[in-house]
């Protein structure tokens, strides 16, 4: 029996690797002869690059680049596929975790360092670029990144604009002539963990700006600046990208890459599943197991377990999912490819207790589910 175990992390308690191992340990106590195929998952958020490097046998490169506040930071990116692919996390060079709470303001944070990482990947010969957008501290429409890649953004007086979402409001013209020509040789995927448009009440500034330090007064400033940049990109590529699903991720960081470089926006979990080769494995599996810390209605909106379940469903394979908790609307997941859902919590407890006991609780839950499957198989054999 071949069992695929492909799970995301249980945030704040278990890494994706630990989740996979706990489930395999529990199942193998009942099915010791089964062949287990363990794959830690991610949805394109923080940690995706290092996870993929470990799982796929790639390696991490480190470069000193411009951080979100303009100060140097050490940023890592993964080199995969024998040097052909670079998986770049925006959060490594422009992440919210790199900005102290008292310094958080998307008026001045920049994506410049992300462009510097892309150039470093190009220098290594990578021509497939995968950019993960989760965890950003920025709302500059990717302007800093574009400037680092050779695009000139100028104000009315012809001067290069300063870094950040605030100065972006002064942009008058966009000049792509200096864009690194090696990008024309590249396939570029942008992994999105949200479906937000660029502008408006559901856009990058209004929805995600506050968590990056934006005040109510800053929102219209940022929204106007993003609208101005979007109009300039539209003039170059002939497309209005402002309402494209996911273009508002990471403060609109993918705007210029989509408009000027032909990058594709894709759900992060689906791209990670492709990198891992899960679709090719599905036909040979007898059972598929997935999970994340909380399974609820949002799971079906681009989360890693849904990507796994969708692939399994297409291959006609049964899917079991584990979680720390089952949240509101988890019942809807039975309509999207999940066969059974299980919470690893086996008693009332505090949040601290749940976190500290997460691994043994998940292992016990997996063992009990496996035992139930074994009993069902025995009962079926007796009936036959």
Instruction: Give the domain CATH number at 215.
Output: 3.90.1510.10
The string of pLDDT tens digits covering residues 186-208 is 999 999 877 889 999 999 999 88
With respect to residue 276, please indicate whether it lies within any of the assigned structural domains. no
With respect to residue 124, please indicate whether it lies within any of the assigned structural domains. yes
With respect to residue 298, please indicate whether it lies within any of the assigned structural domains. yes
Residue 105 and residue 32 share a domain: no
Residue 164 and residue 214 share a domain: yes
List of residues 6+ apart from 127 with CB closer than 8 A: 84, 182, 185, 186, 187
Residue 260 and residue 136 share a domain: yes
Instruction: Give the domain CATH number at 347.
Output: 3.40.50.10350
With respect to residue 372, please indicate whether it lies within any of the assigned structural domains. yes
Greatest alpha-carbon pair distance for the chain in Å reads 85
Residue 202 and residue 67 share a domain: yes
**What mean pLDDT is predicted for residues 231-259?**
95
> Last residue of some domain: 212, 236, 269?
269
| Spatial separation of the C-alpha atoms in residues 46 and 43, rounded to whole Å | 9
C-alpha dist (Å) from residue 3 to 27, 279, 281, 309: 10, 14, 10, 14
Query: What is the reported pLDDT for 383?
Result: 55
Q: Which residue has the higher pLDDT, 22 or 49?
A: 22
**What mean pLDDT is predicted for residues 247-273?**
92
pLDDT value at 357 more than 70: yes
pLDDT value at 107 more than 80: yes
With respect to residue 274, please indicate whether it lies within any of the assigned structural domains. no
The string of pLDDT tens digits covering residues 113-148 is 999 999 999 999 999 999 998 889 999 999 999 999
C-alpha dist (Å) from residue 248 to 20, 129, 133, 169, 193: 32, 20, 10, 17, 10
Residue for token pair 């994706």: 16
Query: What is the reported pLDDT for 279?
Result: 92
Backbone angles phi, psi at 67, to 5 degrees: -85, 180
In eight-state DSSP terms, residue 363 is H
User: Structural domain of residue 257, as residue ranges?
Assistant: 48-269
> Last residue of some domain: 234, 269, 304?
269
Other C-beta atoms closer than 10 Å to the C-beta of 76 total: 16
Q: Give the total number of structural domains in the chain.
A: 2
List of residues 6+ apart from 256 with CB closer than 8 A: 141, 142, 143, 145, 146, 151, 229, 233
Query: What is the reported pLDDT for 271?
Result: 83
pLDDT value at 260 more than 90: yes
With respect to residue 261, please indicate whether it lies within any of the assigned structural domains. yes
**How far apart, in Å, do the first and last CA atoms of the chain sit?**
20
With respect to residue 275, please indicate whether it lies within any of the assigned structural domains. no
**What mean pLDDT is predicted for residues 342-351?**
79
pLDDT value at 97 more than 60: yes
Considering only CA atoms, which of 332, 268, 335 is closest in space to residue 304? Answer: 268
**What mean pLDDT is predicted for residues 326-353?**
86
Residue 139 and residue 17 share a domain: no
**What mean pLDDT is predicted for residues 330-335?**
93
pLDDT value at 12 more than 80: no
Least reliable range by pLDDT among 45-59, 92-106, 232-246, 315-329: 45-59
Given pLDDT bands bounded at 50, 70 and 90, which one contains residue 352?
confident
Helix H segments across 105-168?
Answer: 112-123, 143-148
CB 131 within 8 Å of CB 254: yes
In eight-state DSSP terms, residue 160 is B
With respect to residue 340, please indicate whether it lies within any of the assigned structural domains. yes
pLDDT value at 367 more than 70: yes
Residue 199 and residue 54 share a domain: yes
Considering only CA atoms, which of 76, 100, 96, 78 is closest in space to residue 87? Answer: 78
Residue 328 and residue 265 share a domain: no
Residue 358 and residue 375 share a domain: yes
The radius of gyration of the chain from alpha carbons, rounded to an integer in Å, stands at 22
Residue 105 and residue 90 share a domain: yes
Q: What is the mean pLDDT of the chain?
A: 91
Least reliable range by pLDDT among 11-20, 74-83, 249-258: 11-20
> Last residue of some domain: 247, 269, 291?
269
Residue 219 and residue 75 share a domain: yes
C-alpha dist (Å) from residue 260 to 177, 217, 226: 11, 31, 16
Q: CA torsion angle for 76, 82, 84, 87 (degrees, to 10)?
A: -30
Residue 203 and residue 57 share a domain: yes
Query: What is the reported pLDDT for 382?
Result: 53
pLDDT value at 358 more than 90: no
pLDDT value at 105 more than 60: yes
Residue 327 and residue 310 share a domain: yes
Backbone angles phi, psi at 133, to 5 degrees: -100, 0
For 195, left (φ over 0), alpha (ψ -120 to 50), or beta?
Answer: alpha
């Amino acid at each position: 029996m071949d069992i695929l175990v492909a799970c995301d992390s249980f945030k704040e308690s278990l890494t994706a690797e630990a989740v996979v191992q706990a489930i395999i340990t529990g199942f193998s106590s009942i099915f010791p002869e089964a062949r287990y195929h363990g794959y830690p998952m991610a949805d394109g958020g923080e940690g995706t690059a290092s996870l993929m490097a470990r799982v796929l046998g790639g390696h991490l490169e480190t470069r000193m680049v411009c951080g979100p506040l303009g100060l140097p930071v050490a940023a890592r990116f993964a080199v995969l596929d024998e040097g052909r692919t670079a998986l770049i996390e925006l959060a490594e060079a422009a992440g919210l975790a790199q900005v102290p709470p008292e310094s958080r303001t998307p008026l001045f944070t920049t994506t410049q360092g992300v462009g510097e990482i892309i150039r470093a990947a190009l220098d290594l010969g990578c021509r497939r670029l995968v950019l993960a957008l989760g965890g950003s501290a920025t709302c500059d429409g990717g302007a800093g990144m574009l400037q680092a890649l050779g695009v000139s953004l100028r104000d009315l007086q012809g001067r290069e604009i300063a870094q950040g979402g605030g100065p972006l409001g002064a942009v008058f013209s966009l000049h792509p002539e200096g864009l690194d020509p090696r990008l024309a040789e590249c396939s570029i995927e942008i992994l999105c963990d949200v479906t937000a448009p660029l502008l408006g009440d559901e856009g990058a500034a209004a929805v995600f700006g506050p968590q990056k330090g934006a005040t109510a007064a800053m929102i219209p400033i940022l929204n106007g600046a993003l609208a101005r940049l979007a109009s300039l990109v539209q003039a170059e590529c002939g497309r209005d990208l402002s309402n494209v699903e996911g273009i508002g991720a990471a403060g609109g960081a993918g705007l210029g890459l989509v408009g000027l470089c032909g990058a594709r926006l894709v759900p992060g979990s689906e791209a990670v599943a492709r990198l891992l080769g899960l679709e090719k494995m599905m036909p040979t599996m007898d059972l598929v197991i997935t999970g994340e810390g909380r399974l609820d209605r949002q799971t079906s909106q681009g989360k890693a377990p849904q990507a796994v379940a969708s692939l399994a469903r297409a291959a006609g394979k049964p899917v079991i999912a584990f979680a720390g908790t089952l949240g509101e609307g988890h019942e809807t997941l039975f309509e999207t490819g999940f066969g059974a859902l299980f919470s690893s919590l086996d008693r009332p407890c505090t949040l601290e207790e749940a976190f500290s006991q997460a691994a043994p609780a998940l292992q016990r839950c997996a063992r009990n589910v496996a035992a139930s499957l074994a009993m069902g198989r025995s009962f079926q054999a007796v009936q036959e």
